[in-house]
Amino acid sequence: METRITKCFELRYPIVLSGMSWISVPRLVAAVSEAGGLGILATGVLNPEQTRRAVREVRTLTDKPFGANVTLYFPGARENVRVLLEEQVPVINFSMGKGDWITSQAHAFGGKTIATVTTPRHAASAAAYGTDAVLVTGHEAAAHGSEVTSLVLIPAIADAVTIPIIAAGGFADGRGLAAALALGADAVAMGTRLMSTRESPVHERCKAFAVEKGAEDTVYSSRFDGQPCRVMRGPGSARAIRRGLDLRRAFFSSREIAAMLQVNHLKLTLRVLASGWKNVRQMAYLANAFKAFRIATTEGDERRGVLPLGQATALVRDVPTVAELFQRVMREAEQAGARVAAAVA
């Protein structure tokens, strides 16, 4: 299958791995790229040296195109961007911030960028400063999706920009890929579906949850990490949402983040406090959320942790290898396309 995304990023299949913290690690990134898609390394919970090591590890596992993501409001994001630029990562995916400077510097060495967006306005802005594609995250997605569903958001953004579109949120099989192409996208990104593959490092209980749960088993709230966020419905998420903003808890959780990023905790705290109440509030939410995400994904504990899970969990029924999944998706997409063509004819 050939689309603008497969041509732009030199892929066999128009399928992208969403960059998920503690999940989109080198092994899974390489498996996706080796299978013909675009693997995206998650760097949000890595310090610069860990990011550099992870990029180099991916390169030992595959010689196919791959990418890495950065969430620009996360602590340490700019430092990680510098590493990605120095390492000349082929594709840099950025979100929650303006990435014009990343795009210009990536283009200087022949790299490409993808902006993650949730509105037509943000998509048009990213296109205006030269990003190569946009990743459009609909309401169905795990973690930070739009208020608008993919069914409406994708064609709205396709009408607003001329650059290639990667559709995220609700995609787990070939029917979804065919639907995304019909709506104006050029590829799909899968998080929940690729989380539940054999190469995924996520805890086996999380894979079991993804197979067992239905679309109604997720909840969308801004009381978990300060941004509208979709997670699995469970004891941990219910408690976190009920609790909401907890500054005392955030102070202690931020110690773990400081240690993880290898930065001085006092300096990190003072820097956040100096940035104003709005940012203090967001960082407090984020500190607690980071810990809850880690516990769920690495320990499989849904009572103390919180698992990001998209509504596409309703379509996850097994745990295949990435290569097996991609072959199945492509067969299903061809069958779906044939049904639509016959109906239209």
Give the per-residue pLDDT at 277: 64
DSSP for residue 129: T
Residue 306 lies in a domain: no
What is the pLDDT confidence band of residue 251, given thresholds at 50, 70 and 90? low
Same domain, 322 and 197: yes
Higher pLDDT, 221 or 281: 221
227: three-class secondary structure by DSSP: coil
Q: Is a pLDDT exceeding 90 seen at residue 248?
A: no
**Is 269 a residue whose pLDDT tops 70?**
no
User: Does residue 147 lie within any of the structural domains?
Assistant: yes
DSSP state letter for 293: H
- Asked whether residue 308 is domain-assigned, the answer is no
Mean predicted confidence (pLDDT) in 314-342: 97
The reply to whether 32 and 50 lie within a common domain is yes
Query: Residue 291 pLDDT more than 70?
Result: yes
Q: What pLDDT score does 320 carry?
A: 98
Domain assignment of residue 309, yes or no: no
Give the pLDDT of residue 280. 65
| Domain annotation covers residue 138 | yes
- 39 with 170, same domain: the answer is yes
pLDDT of 253 > 70? The answer is no
Domain containing 94: what range? 4-205+317-344
Q: Quick check: is 127 in a domain?
A: yes
Q: What is the pLDDT of residue 286?
A: 73
The predicted model gives 275-294 an average pLDDT of 75
pLDDT tens by residue, 34-89: 999 999 999 999 999 999 999 999 999 999 999 999 999 887 899 999 999 999 99
Sign of CA dihedral 60, 65, 66, 70: positive
Query: Is 270 or 340 the better-scoring residue by pLDDT?
Result: 340
Report the side by side order of strands in the sheet with 133-137: 15-17, 187-190, 165-168, 133-137, 112-117, 91-95, 66-71, 39-42
* Average pLDDT score over the chain: 93
Q: Which of 254, 258, 253 is nearest to 76 (CA)?
A: 258
Q: Output the pTM of the full model.
A: 0.92
71 and 133 part of one domain: yes
Q: Is the domain of 63 the same as that of 143? A: yes
My answer on whether 36 and 145 are in the same domain is yes
What kind and span of H or E run contains 67? strand 66-71
Per-residue pLDDT tens over the stretch 134-151:
999 999 999 999 999 999
Over residues 173-200, mean pLDDT:
98
Q: Bigger pLDDT: 2 or 285? A: 2
Residues 6+ apart with CB under 8 A from 40: 16, 17, 18, 19, 24, 29, 66, 67, 68, 69, 91, 93
Q: Are residues 223 and 322 in the same domain?
A: no
Model pLDDT, residue 159: 98
Q: What pLDDT score was predicted for residue 268?
A: 64
Whether 312 is in a domain gets the answer: no
pLDDT at 76: 85
Give the pLDDT confidence score for residue 207 in this predicted structure: 98
> Which of the 8 DSSP states describes residue 143?
B
* Residue 304 belongs to some domain of the structure: no
The total of other beta-carbon atoms located within 10 Å of residue 304's CB is 14
Average pLDDT (147-156) is 98
C-alpha dihedral, 292 to 57 to 144 to 299, nearest 10°? -20
Query: Considering its fold, how many domains does the chain have in total?
Result: 2
State the pLDDT confidence band at 184, using cuts at 50, 70 and 90.
Answer: very high
167 and 293 housed in the same domain: no
- Could you tell me if 51 and 80 lie in one domain? yes
Same-domain status, 172 and 54:
yes
Query: Both 160 and 197 in a single domain?
Result: yes
Q: Can you give the CATH number for the domain in which 65 is found? A: 3.20.20.70
Domain co-membership, 189 together with 229: no
